[in-house]
Amino acid sequence: MLRLTGIVKRFPGVVALDRVDLEIRAGVVHALTGENGSGKSTLARIASGALGPDAGRIEVDGVERRIATPKEALDLGIVTISQELTLAPTLTVAENVFLGRLPRTRFRTVDWPRLLADTTEILDSLGVRVDPRRPVSELSVELQQEIEIARAVSSRSRLLILDEATSSLSEAATSRLLEVVEQERAKGVAVLMISHRMPELYRAASIASVLRDGHLVADVPLPQTPETELVRLMVGRELGDYYRKRAIDPGETVLEVRDLASLDGQLLPTSLSVRRGEIVGVAGLVGSGKAELGLALGGAIPSVGTAQVLGRDVDLSQPRTALAGGIGFVPDDRKRAALLPTRSVAENFSVAWTNQLTRAGIVDTRTERQRVREAIERYGVVTASASSRITTLSGGNQQKVVLGRVFARDLDVLVLSEPTRGIDVGAKSEIYRLMQEFAAQGAGIVIISSELPELLGIADRILVFFRGQVRGEFTTGGLEEEEVAHVAVSGTRLESAA
Ligand SMILES: Nc1ncnc2c1ncn2[C@@H]1O[C@H](COP(=O)(O)OP(=O)(O)OP(=O)(O)O)[C@@H](O)[C@H]1O
Ligand SMILES: [Mg+2]
């Protein structure tokens, strides 16, 4: 279906792809793996007409082609669902699903009844419940991603490219997407799948190509190739124990939350406390209220109730006041995380420090440059230079900057929502190490995550949300994933554990 030969792509200061060959066959799910910044998205963008290669040959069905624009890719049946959302926020769900191919009446106006009916049919088939007349900007990140998927599968595609399409989806939605992928594959569609989640790749793909620093290092069969081998190919070394469990000795209470509830009704009055040195995991399905707990603590959504850090009341009415009160919050959505998109990596780091580095209104630029260099090193940010624009970084590397900014402040409480989304296996263990270090220095950490293995590995205690409230609390030693999942799905504990 698609053959790429000798593809080269250079950006200022980096060779993103160096003579890469890739052959994607009809009826096959082909995984593309590699660390953050290894060139996966760049290759996907070249195949989908969003970027032109500096050298190399592209063949579709054995015929050499120049795929100069996304429109040309679409005409060839190449459809992409990408890491960054591309919906038009002010348009409705239905308009987004059929963007560029809206059904028309004989008067050339939009045929709304048909548009709504067609959209409803597609959404139903994907198990997505949302009013097709709602503007997309009102929807959660997860729903927006599902709308992107609906748009992709409803356009008749021959090659479907999924660039971390599942990274903002819950387990149930991921499962549905993988079923759709399997149906498409069975119809003869070729699928190129990029994901940092190993279980998905092993479930869906039959071959994996591995990129390292822009080079294709191997094509291996799945599921026959063991995960340790695949990871070794990606990172070029053995990865040690993922979660280094540590003995904790929790100190005084650092965060005390009383009857915190979001005004949208998603989070019902919830109380919890976190002690110094503790990492508290928060589990639950999408819509369980776990995301709203983070947003409320970060001052990002209106809430009632109280939060105290070391006995002092924190004003949760705005992100700025929550931060001033000692709560650092990293939301699950990079756009909301207030990265400054037009600014450099250095500027994005240093906005977090200007208060500390300013004496009488003058910024100490030498110290600042030094600290930015250290941060880039410490958080393993792959970038051509400190002055590169943040948006030129790969998705995972942008995430490392978001986390690094918060880690770099001396805060008593960190609330992290899906912190390792889009982060490669090597960098993940690095982030877990940083979290543990931070806790060991006396901070209290709340980590909200959809990935149970991650919570079981890193948290000392797990709170499970169901319909807006905490319905289960576990300590993690010897805890089984099943016990947590049962509460998340039903709101009650497993019989045997009760
Ligand atoms: N527009 C751009 N300008 C400059 N450099 C870029 C640009 N796009 C990508 N790069 C660089 O090319 C390299 C490959 O990036 P790419 O986005 O393809 O990585 P990736 O494998 O998709 O990583 P991730 O897993 O983090 O999404 C990185 O070093 C990145 O900084
Ligand atoms: Mg990418």
Same-domain status, 263 and 193: no
| Among the ranges given (183-192, 236-245, 475-484), the one the predictor scored with the smallest mean pLDDT | 236-245
Residue nearest to atom 4 of ligand 1 (CA): 392
From the CA atom positions of the chain, what is the Rg in Å?
23
Same-domain status, 328 and 435: yes
Question: What CA–CA distances, in Å, run from 96 to 48, 83, 92, 177?
Answer: 19, 17, 6, 18
Looking from the CA of 433 toward its CB, the CA atoms found within 13 Å total 12
Q: Ligand 1 center to residue 461 CA distance, Å?
A: 36
Same-domain status, 162 and 217: yes
Same-domain status, 231 and 125: yes
Calpha distance 187→24 (Å, rounded): 15
Question: What CA–CA distances, in Å, run from 219 to 106, 215, 345, 365?
Answer: 51, 12, 33, 47
Q: Ligand 1 center to residue 56 CA distance, Å?
A: 18
Tokens (6 digits) for 492: 């009650």
Residue nearest to atom 25 of ligand 1 (CA): 36
Q: What is the DSSP string of 139-160?
A: S-HHHHHHHHHHHHHHS--SEE
Same-domain status, 16 and 111: yes
pLDDT, residue 498, reads 44
**pLDDT at position 359 over 60:** no
Same-domain status, 168 and 317: no
Tokens (6 digits) for 386: 């400190």
Same-domain status, 173 and 287: no
Residue 380 lies in a domain: no
Q: Ligand 1 center to residue 16 CA distance, Å?
A: 7
Calpha distance 114→369 (Å, rounded): 58
Mutate to test the pocket of ligand 1, among 17, 388, 389, 393 (most ligand atoms within 8 A of CB): 393
Question: Per-residue confidence at 336, pLDDT binned at 50, 70, 90?
Answer: low
- In terms of residue numbers, what domain contains 449? 253-340+396-497
Residue 424 lies in a domain: yes
Give me the CATH number covering residue 126: 3.40.50.300
- CB under 6 Å to ligand 1: residues? 11, 14, 16, 34, 36-42, 382-383, 392-397, 424
pTM across the whole model = 0.75
Same-domain status, 218 and 274: no
- Tally of domains within the chain: 2
Same-domain status, 176 and 257: no
Name the more confident of 92 and 427.
92
Residue 242 lies in a domain: no
- How far, rounded to the nearest angstrom, does the alpha carbon of residue 122 sit from its chain's CA centroid? 25
Residue 357 lies in a domain: no
Q: What is the DSSP string of 77-110?
A: TEEEE-SS----TTSBHHHHHTTT---B-TTSSB
Calpha distance 47→69 (Å, rounded): 10
**pLDDT at position 202 over 90:** yes
Calpha distance 451→293 (Å, rounded): 17
Q: Ligand 2 center to residue 394 CA distance, Å?
A: 5
Residue nearest to atom 22 of ligand 1 (CA): 41
pLDDT per residue over 20-37, tens digit each? 999 999 999 999 999 888
pLDDT per residue over 137-188, tens digit each? 888 877 888 888 888 888 878 999 999 888 777 777 788 889 889 989 999 9
Q: Ligand 2 center to residue 328 CA distance, Å?
A: 26
Q: Ligand 1 center to residue 383 CA distance, Å?
A: 9
pLDDT per residue over 372-423, tens digit each? 888 888 888 888 888 999 888 888 888 888 888 888 888 999 999 999 888 8
pLDDT, residue 162, reads 93
Residue nearest to atom 12 of ligand 1 (CA): 16
Same-domain status, 407 and 473: yes
Residue 245 lies in a domain: no
